Amino acid sequence: MDEKAVKYFQRDVNAALMPAMFGRERLGSGREHITITDPDTDAVLYNFFNKYHPPKPPKILDNNIVVEPEIKPKPKSSGNKLTYAKLYISEIRKYPKDKLSYEYAGMCMHLATYIEWHDGSLVIGTGKRRKFMERKDISKELKISDSTTRRLISKLEELKLISYDGKKYKMIGKLFGKGREIECESNLKKE
């Protein structure tokens, strides 16, 4: 293939003179107007619009070795759908009732609605107002006193179900899993 044609198709130049004249014009809408004309008569042989594709990031040379730039994947989102949590009853039964009471297990289930599933941290808020949960947020959301919250957190830390690294609380136990909606009578459409 002609070197001029190769440069044109690699988008290095906007026009190339070959047996036919290829022309490319980028419009403000992000589209390209491409024309193919006869170079002798200047008659338009073909005229069309093409979707503009932005150039790929340049490759980085490191000691004459081509290294592809790192492209970070977009984080997954729930798509504004309700989140669900699975409660593993078999895991709860592994703890004696005097260590993990039903009251504390229920509080854990309520805290599971605030889990960031990729790292297990507890977050509150949406959008720009998202923040890591603090002890006062936990007591506010569970509607319990501060002293009860301290007892809850110390008991869960003792059972290795929650951890605090000075910045955020993380649910680290195997009591919960990321769930999906379960079809039941209330969720089925009435026919």
Q: Who has greater pLDDT, 73 or 12?
A: 12
Measured distance CA(22)–CA(36) in Å, rounded: 5
Following DSSP, what letter does each residue of 92-150 receive, concatenated? HTTS-TTTS-HHHHHHHHHHGGGB-TTT-BBEESSGGG-EE--HHHHHHHHT--HHHHH
Full-model pTM: 0.49
Q: Who has greater pLDDT, 27 or 159?
A: 159
In whole numbers, what is the pLDDT of the chain averaged over residues? Answer: 76
Measured distance CA(8)–CA(24) in Å, rounded: 9
Residue 124 has pLDDT above 60, yes or no: yes
Measured distance CA(173)–CA(163) in Å, rounded: 9
Q: What is the pLDDT of residue 189?
A: 45
| Mean pLDDT confidence for 33-41 | 80
Residue 122 has pLDDT above 60, yes or no: yes
Residue 128 has pLDDT above 50, yes or no: yes
Q: Which amino acid is residue 99, in one-letter code?
A: K
For the record, the structure tokens of 159 come out as 């059972």
In CATH terms, the fold of domain 84-179 is Arc Repressor Mutant, subunit A (1.10.10)
User: So where are the chain's domains?
Assistant: 11-54, 84-179
Q: What is the pLDDT of residue 145?
A: 92
| Mean pLDDT confidence for 111-122 | 82
3-state secondary structure of 176: strand
Q: What is the pLDDT of residue 69?
A: 62
Q: Name the DSSP letter for residue 8.
A: H
- Under 8 Å between Cβ of 15 and 22: yes
